[in-house]
Amino acid sequence: SRKYVLYDVNAGEGFNLRRDVYMRVARLVHQLNEGSKTAEWVLVLPPWGPLYHWRTKDFGFQAKIPWKEFFDVESLAAYVPVIEF
């Protein structure tokens, strides 16, 4: 069966902290998958925004920005299964 891990960070947290939290949660999901014989754990990537120190007019209203705007999601999925929220 497939199970999902969804996480979030406090509003107003910066880019680097959000990225660091991803790395910790991805490691957790990796360990869950290594130890599970019955479930595949999938990491759900929470949308970004607003990033107060990274404003740009290119994104318009900066809420619910997908991870693919900042990262190669396929590369992230090489370590653990991921989906965008």
Residues acting as catalytic residues: 13
Spell out the residues 6+ positions from residue 63 whose beta carbon is closer than 8 angstroms to its own. Answer: 47, 49, 50
Of 44, 55, 61, 74, whose CA–CA distance to 15 is shortest? 55
Do the Cβ atoms of 53 and 14 come closer than 8 Å? yes
Q: Beta strands of 1-85 (E only): which ranges?
A: 2-6, 40-45, 82-84
